[in-house]
């Protein structure tokens, strides 16, 4: 399963000594050995107060006075999440030390990030352990969860909560369902973990619009709890689902988007402009598929477009990655964009995309569309 956590207090401030309440570790339960079937979103909460419902019906951003971070509702739920989150697939994927992982978590948290994404399959559960140890050491409050058939969902979530030393999470995301698990069972299991206090909301990850609608229909038919959000890949070169399929679901049933891979596995950073550097991710054996993608004809065309986009970034006084992240956030249905960083300087640069959001005017968006040449046909323009 996948776990993410976010601070429910949308007025985040930089942490001070003694500001946080200590989180009691969960009682030792037998950890689940089942394979991960879902992703979980855990949310760090500064206070024990209830979720903010004041902005329940709109996606208008509120800006933290001290950090500059902006917060949006998760779909049409009352849960507020930072518009930038930290994904631990790269961060805690076994490529960096625990010390650097803590530095990255601290930079993100002190910058106002309240959404952290992980999964039990990342380094065989090590990512969850590292994440939990950091949360406990820092005395941050947090939450978590996971699963897909009823057994895997419930046992998987219990295992994640134990590894992360948490009592509950705010959101759990179910990975794309397999054909062997009835939708009713998935929705009932997610409803169960919410009713048991292990999570507050649930969402989907890489589901089709049809599957999400099926889950919603099942929830309504049997008086169960429907999903509030979908995790989807979204960047310059992957647009159709987020821009044409999910907006309709957002307006009809309130399902928002947490997007991932805003830099297309590093392709949009520009570091592959002249091939694949030896120190890059694409040079590693597990990422042979990424290397082939970069070296393909389409990959070379993408690099040519990125050169043109770099001129727009220069005009706006930002880097290409910052432009790419701010571009993702221009979509009203995107609640948060998950960042993947392997070092503090990279994370700090990516967080700087917050300052670029006001510069993402309709004119700039049109320039980007002209260069990309891949804007999906849709009934409505979903730009701000």
The CA distance from 102 to 381, in Å, is: 40
274: exposed, middle or buried (Cβ count in 10 Å: 0-12, 13-18, 19+): exposed
3-class DSSP assignment, residue 146: coil
On whether residue 339 sits in a domain, the answer given is yes
∠ Cα 261 338 243 (to 5°) = 65
On whether residue 319 sits in a domain, the answer given is no
- By annotation, the residues acting in catalysis are 122
On whether residue 378 sits in a domain, the answer given is no
The CA distance from 331 to 378, in Å, is: 13
On whether residue 298 sits in a domain, the answer given is no
Question: What is the pLDDT at residue 223?
Answer: 98
Residue 6: which pLDDT band, with cuts at 50, 70 and 90?
very low
Q: In this structure, what CATH number is given to the domain that contains residue 40?
A: 3.20.20.100
Q: How many domains does the chain have?
A: 1
Span 322-350, pLDDT tens digits: 999 999 999 988 999 999 888 999 999 99
Output DSSP code: residue 15: -
In the predicted structure, residue 109 carries a pLDDT above the cut 80: yes
- Sign of the CA dihedral running 295, 299, 301, 304: negative
In the predicted structure, residue 63 carries a pLDDT above the cut 90: no
Q: What is the mean pLDDT of the chain?
A: 78
Question: What is the pLDDT at residue 253?
Answer: 94
The CA distance from 182 to 314, in Å, is: 50
Structural domain range at position 334: 2-10+33-46+63-270+328-354
On whether residue 222 sits in a domain, the answer given is yes
In the predicted structure, residue 23 carries a pLDDT above the cut 80: no
Span 169-221, pLDDT tens digits: 889 888 876 667 889 989 999 999 999 999 999 999 999 999 999 999 999 99
Percent of the chain beyond pLDDT 90?
45
In the predicted structure, residue 15 carries a pLDDT above the cut 50: no
Give this prediction's pTM.
0.75
197: exposed, middle or buried (Cβ count in 10 Å: 0-12, 13-18, 19+): exposed
Q: How is 48-94 classified by DSSP, letter by letter? A: -PPPP-TTTT----EE-TTT--EEEESTTSS-EEESEEEEHHHHTSS
**Residue 39: enclosing H or E segment and its boundaries?**
strand 38-43
58 vs 256 pLDDT, higher one: 256
On whether residue 301 sits in a domain, the answer given is no
Residues 168/198, Cβ–Cβ less than 8 Å: yes
Residue 226: which pLDDT band, with cuts at 50, 70 and 90?
very high
Residue 145: which pLDDT band, with cuts at 50, 70 and 90?
very low
Question: What is the pLDDT at residue 39?
Answer: 52
Q: Angle, nearest 10°, between helix axes 183-195 and 150-163?
A: 40
Question: What is the pLDDT at residue 338?
Answer: 95
On whether residue 320 sits in a domain, the answer given is no
On whether residue 284 sits in a domain, the answer given is no
């Amino acid at each position: 399963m996948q776990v993410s956590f976010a601070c429910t207090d949308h007025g985040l401030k930089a942490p001070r000594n003694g500001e946080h309440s200590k989180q009691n570790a969960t009682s030792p339960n037998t950890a689940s050995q089942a394979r991960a079937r879902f992703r979980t979103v855990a949310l760090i909460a500064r206070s024990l107060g209830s979720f903010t419902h004041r902005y329940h019906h709109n996606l208008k951003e509120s800006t933290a006075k001290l950090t500059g971070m902006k917060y949006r509702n998760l779909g049409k739920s009352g849960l507020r999440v930072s518009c930038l989150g930290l994904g631990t697939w790269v961060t805690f994927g076994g490529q960096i030390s625990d010390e650097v992982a803590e530095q990255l978590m601290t930079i993100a948290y002190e910058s106002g990030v309240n959404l952290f994404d992980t999964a039990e399959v990342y380094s065989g559960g090590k990512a969850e352990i590292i994440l939990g140890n950091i949360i406990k050491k820092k005395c941050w409050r947090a939450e978590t969860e996971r699963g897909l058939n009823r057994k895997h969902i419930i046992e998987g979530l219990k295992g994640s909560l134990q590894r992360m030393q948490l009592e509950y999470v705010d959101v759990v995301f179910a990975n794309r369902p397999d054909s062997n698990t009835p939708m009713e069972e998935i929705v009932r299991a997610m409803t169960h973990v919410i009713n048991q206090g292990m999570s507050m909301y649930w969402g989907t990850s890489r589901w089709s619009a049809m599957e999400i609608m099926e889950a919603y229909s099942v929830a309504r038919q049997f008086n169960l709890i429907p999903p509030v959000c979908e995790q989807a890949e979204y960047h310059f070169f992957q647009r159709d689902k987020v821009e044409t399929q999910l907006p309709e679901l957002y307006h009809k049933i309130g399902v928002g988007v947490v997007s991932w891979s805003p830099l297309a596995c590093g392709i949009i950073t520009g570091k592959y402009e002249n091939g694949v550097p030896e120190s890059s991710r694409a040079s590693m054996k597990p990422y042979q598929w990424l290397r082939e993608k970069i070296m393909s004809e389409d990959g070379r065309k993408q690099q040519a477009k990125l050169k043109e986009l770099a001129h727009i970034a220069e005009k706006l006084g930002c880097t290409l990655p910052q432009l790419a992240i701010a571009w993702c956030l221009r979509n009203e249905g995107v609640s948060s964009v998950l960042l993947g960083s392997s070092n503090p300087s990279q994370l700090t640069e990516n967080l700087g995309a917050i300052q670029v959001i006001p510069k993402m005017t309709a004119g700039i968006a049109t320039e980007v569309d002209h260069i990309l040449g891949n804007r999906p046909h849709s009934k409505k323009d979903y730009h701000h």
